């Protein structure tokens, strides 16, 4: 017979193993296998996003210097969004990348979420909200007083109306929406971080005791005492998890209300601005179209008044003259330019007005054949350029509104899940799973909406020429408002 030794664990050791499974269920992070690789990709993309935003700020810094806020003559505080937003993005990326690296280390170690991951991860939310409000603040400042224009209008009383909102209103709103994420969220975030630290301390004590049991460091009744201690530790971690969940629900509910109100302000601002852009596009288009028949009639009148030609010949030569062919070509060119193309709805660089001095377009030649003076041809090219620039400006506004809406909707979804405990913490999922879920959700949502796409748009806008909008004709505005 061969001598074989079989290790038979005691009943207390069986209890320790069973308790260990319960503790892991209450504390450990469990995620699908692809999550670590996804988080690494998000880290890289966030760093790329930060670079994009920094590059977008370079033209403004070279032109205006480095400043973040500046009071205007009417008392309104003006944020330098071309610098302020990149600064907020760099701060957010620095904090969030640190959070993701810490989370990856927690996933690799197979323990519960660390206090560094939880605490630093919570600090990303005020940064996200403040960055979002900076964008909305800039939108609200640009809301025109009426639907007729994008720039300031001199009213009948001589006062300069720069925006739909009064300066004091905008300043107070901005102070509130900047302060709320920190003032409201500061206490819950501190308490959540403290509870996570206490849970981690309890888990480490339990883990040391369990390892001593598995390694054979304790026997018999000592194992029973450690099992009883493990039950107390497990109960303590569950109770702390419920407390953290309650604080997280309170925090998410407040932030959810904040996001909904911000979204309403943002949509109001974008709709008002798009309405003004639409009106100006209509004005430029009508101005451009109405100039063509006027010029042709003028040209025809010159032909008919020529003494060497009879009226019959004049009519015949009108249909066969190069002027008529030019008119038809220009009309076809104008109609074709109004055709909707997919590329027209992509954010692109706007053309600079220097092209008017460097080249003469075919349209200018046609306009010359139609009998336009030099200043008329220049005005026509300026109108064409302004119309094209306003259309591209409208496209950029739509894309900005789209991606800002995506991140706000995504953030709302995350807060709804936490507020109503849709993950079933701590019954179905651990608090660590909830923490990892919110960090991953926020990071992925940001980088694929505000990060890469909006960073690219910021570069396009920063290296493009500014839009010079029509100044309102107050007499016409008052007349049209009286008719309405």
- Which tens digit of pLDDT belongs to each residue from 379-389? 777 777 777 77
Q: Which residue has the tokens 């601005």?
A: 273
pLDDT of residue 348: 61
Average per-residue pLDDT in the chain? 77
What integer pLDDT is reported at residue 48 of this predicted model?
96
Q: How confident is the model at residue 354 (pLDDT cuts 50, 70, 90)?
A: very low
How much is the pLDDT for 429?
85
Cα distances (angstroms) measured from residue 100 to each of 24, 37, 184, 251: 22, 11, 25, 21
- 46 has a pLDDT exceeding 60: yes
What interhelical angle do 431-446 and 35-64 show, nearest 10? 40
Q: In whole angstroms, give the CA distance from residue 31 to residue 429.
A: 11
Percent of the chain having pLDDT more than 70? 72
Q: Stretch 443-460: mean pLDDT, rounded?
A: 87
Picking from 112, 426, 76, the residue whose alpha carbon sits closest to that of residue 240 is 426
Q: Report the SS3 class of residue 307.
A: coil
Check residue 1 and give its pLDDT.
Answer: 39
Domain residue ranges of the chain, discontinuous segments joined by +: 11-278+397-475, 285-386
pLDDT at position 160 is: 52
Name which residue leads in pLDDT, 301 or 257.
Answer: 257
The residues near 96 (Cβ < 8 Å, ≥ 6 apart) are 46, 121, 124, 442, 443, 446
Is the pLDDT assigned to residue 212 strictly greater than 50?
A: yes
| Three-state SS at 384 | helix
Rounded distance, CA 116 to CA 154, Å? Answer: 55
Tell me what the mean pLDDT of segment 187-196 comes to.
Answer: 94
**Between 169 and 373, residue with greater pLDDT:** 169
Least confident of 3-7, 68-72, 285-289, 430-434: 3-7
> What would the mean pLDDT of 71-78 be, rounded to a whole number?
85
Choice among 132-136, 262-266, 346-350, 450-454 with the minimum mean pLDDT? 346-350
Secondary structure of residue 79 in the 3-state scheme: strand
316 or 186, higher pLDDT: 186
The yes-or-no verdict on residue 369 having pLDDT over 90 is no
Range in 186-190, 194-198, 353-357, 433-437 the model is least confident about: 353-357
In the numeric block, which tokens belong to residue 231? 């039950």
**In the structure encoding, which two tokens stand for residue 16, read together?**
């320790």
Q: Which residue has the higher pLDDT, 348 or 272?
A: 272
From 188-197, 267-276, 345-354, the region with the lowest mean pLDDT: 345-354
Q: pLDDT tens-digit profile of 452-477?
A: 988 887 887 777 655 544 444 444 44
Residue 336: the pLDDT is 52
Q: In this predicted structure, what is the pLDDT of residue 19?
A: 79
Whether residue 261 has pLDDT greater than 90: yes
Label residue 343 by pLDDT band (50, 70, 90). low
Taking 3-state DSSP, the helix, strand and coil percentages for the chain, each rounded to the nearest 5, stand at 75, 0, 20
**Is residue 4 over pLDDT 50?**
no
- Assess contact for 149 and 471: CB atoms under 8 A: yes
CA pair distance 65, 159, nearest whole angstrom: 30
β-partners of residue 28 are 112
How would you classify the pairing of strands 153-154 and 77-79?
A: unpaired
Judged by phi (left if over 0) then psi (alpha if -120 to 50, else beta), residue 65 lies in left
Question: 293 versus 24: which is more confidently predicted?
Answer: 24
Q: Is 168 within 8 Å of 105 (Cβ atoms)?
A: no
What percent of the chain stands above pLDDT 90?
A: 34
For residue 293, pLDDT over 50 is answered with no
Considering only CA atoms, which of 285, 273, 286 is closest in space to residue 147?
273
291, pLDDT greater than 70: no
* pLDDT tier, 365 (very low <50, low <70, confident <90, very high otherwise): very low
Ramachandran angles phi, psi of 99, nearest 5°: -65, -45
With 60 as the cut, is the pLDDT of residue 22 above it?
yes
Tokens found for residue 459: 């570069």
Residue 300 banded pLDDT, cuts 50, 70, 90:
very low
Among residues 10, 30, 25, which one has the least CA distance to residue 436?
Answer: 30
Instruction: Give per-residue pLDDT as tens, 128-166.
Output: 999 999 989 988 988 888 777 655 544 444 445 567 888
- Residue positions counted in the chain: 484
Predicted local distance difference test score (pLDDT) of residue 155? 46
């Amino acid at each position: 017979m061969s001598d074989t030794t079989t290790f038979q664990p005691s009943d207390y050791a069986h209890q320790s193993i069973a308790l260990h499974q319960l503790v892991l269920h209450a504390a450990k992070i469990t995620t699908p296998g692809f999550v670590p690789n996804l988080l690494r990709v998000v880290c890289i993309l966030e760093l790329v996003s930060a670079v994009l935003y920094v590059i977008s700020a370079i033209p403004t810094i070279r032109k205006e210097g480095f400043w973040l806020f500046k009071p205007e003559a009417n008392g309104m505080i003006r944020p330098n969004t071309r610098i302020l937003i990149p600064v907020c993005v760099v701060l957010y990326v620095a904090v969030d990348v640190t959070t993701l690296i810490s989370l990856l280390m927690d996933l690799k170690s197979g323990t519960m979420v660390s206090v560094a991951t939880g605490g630093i991860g919570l600090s990303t939310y005020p940064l996200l909200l403040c960055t979002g409000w900076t964008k909305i603040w800039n939108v609200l400042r640009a809301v025109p007083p009426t639907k007729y224009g994008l720039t300031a209008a001199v009213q009948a009383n001589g006062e300069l109306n720069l925006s739909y909102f009064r300066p004091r209103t905008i300043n107070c709103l901005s102070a509130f929406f900047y302060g709320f994420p920190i003032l409201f969220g500061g206490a819950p975030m501190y308490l959540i971080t403290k509870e996570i630290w206490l849970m981690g301390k309890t888990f480490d004590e339990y883990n040391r005791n369990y390892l001593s049991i598995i390694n054979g460091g304790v026997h018999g009744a000592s194992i029973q005492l450690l099992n009883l201690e493990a039950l107390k530790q497990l109960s303590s971690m569950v109770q702390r998890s419920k407390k953290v969940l309650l604080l997280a629900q309170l925090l998410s509910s407040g932030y959810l209300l904040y996001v909904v109100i911000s979204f309403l302000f943002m949509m109001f601002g974008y709709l008002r601005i798009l309405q003004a852009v639409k009106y100006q596009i209509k004005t430029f288009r009508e101005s451009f179209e109405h100039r063509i028949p006027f010029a042709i009639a003028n040209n025809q009148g010159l032909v008919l008044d020529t003494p060497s030609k009879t009226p019959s010949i004049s009519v015949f030569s009108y249909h066969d003259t190069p002027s008529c062919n030019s008119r038809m070509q220009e009309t076809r060119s104008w109609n074709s330019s109004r055709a909707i193309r997919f590329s027209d709805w992509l954010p692109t660089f706007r053309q600079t007005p220097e092209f008017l001095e460097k080249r003469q377009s075919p349209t200018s030649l046609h306009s010359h054949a139609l009998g336009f003076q030099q200043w008329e041809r220049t005005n026509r090219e300026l109108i064409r350029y302004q119309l094209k620039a306003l259309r591209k400006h409208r496209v950029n506004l739509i894309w900005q509104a789209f991606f800002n809406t995506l991140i706000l909707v995504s953030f709302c979804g995350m807060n709804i899940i936490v507020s109503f405990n849709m993950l079933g913490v701590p019954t179905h999922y651990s608090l660590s799973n909830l923490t990892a879920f919110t960090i991953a959700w926020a990071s992925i949502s940001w980088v694929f909406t505000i990060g890469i796409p909006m960073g690219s748009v910021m570069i396009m806008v920063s290296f493009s020429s500014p839009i010079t909008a029509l100044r309102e004709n107050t007499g016409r505005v008052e007349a049209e408002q009286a008719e309405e």
